[in-house]
Structure 1
């Protein structure tokens, strides 16, 4: 039986792999946790994010998660995600961070 991977998941895997390569070539240390945050955010971006799952998966409040994500989006490694993905994620972060706690 042949199983096919979802093309969106394959694209996200490729982008995250490229982000790791850029970070490595620039001598930037990205922890596996930071890479997981970028991957998770990119997966959920088309759906507007998933704050509840972010808490379960990373143990971070909505504010903590989006604060870390917006910092990661400014890193050279995030460039591999592409301008439109970065803009979408940054907009989601700004929206979440502007909401009252």
Structure 2
């Protein structure tokens, strides 16, 4: 796991109890919240990630899915 991936995982774990932190994602990582949550979801879905315990992995998966579901979808038709 890279340092950036470790930092993303630590950030997501730190903000997990608060269901927030979106406003800090771009300044910290240079990513949109949607991209951040996609990447964190991929990280916790890896079998070899040992930085967090199983229960925290489950909570992070659910948190990422919830955050991704909340993201407004762009409607190319404008309606």
Same fold (TM over 0.5): yes
Q: For the aligned residues, what is the CA RMSD?
A: 1.5
- In structure 1, C-alpha distance between the alignment counterparts of 2:18 and 2:29, rounded to whole Å: 19
Give the deviation of 1:74 after TM superposition.
1.1
The equivalent residue for 1:71 is 42
- Count of aligned pairs between the two proteins: 72
The 1-side partners of 2:36 and 2:49 are apart by 16
**1:87 equivalenced with 2:58 (yes/no):** yes
List structure 1 runs of 4+ shifted beyond 4 angstroms. none
Please give the TM-score of this superposition, normalised by the length of structure 1. Answer: 0.64
d(CA) in 2 for partners of 1:73, 1:47: 19
Consecutive unaligned residues of structure 1, counting only runs of 5 or more, are 1-29
Structure 2: gaps spanning 5 or more residues: 74-79
Question: Any idea what SS the aligned residue of 1:81 has?
Answer: coil
CA distance in 2, matches of 1:80, 1:32: 12
In the alignment, is the contact (CA less than 8 A) between 1:78 and 1:86 conserved in 2? no
Larger radius of gyration: 1
Deviations 1:6-46 (A, max 9, x none): xxxxxxxxxxxxxxxxxxxxxxxx11111110111111111
Measure, in 2, the Cα distance between the counterparts of 1:45 and 1:59. Answer: 20
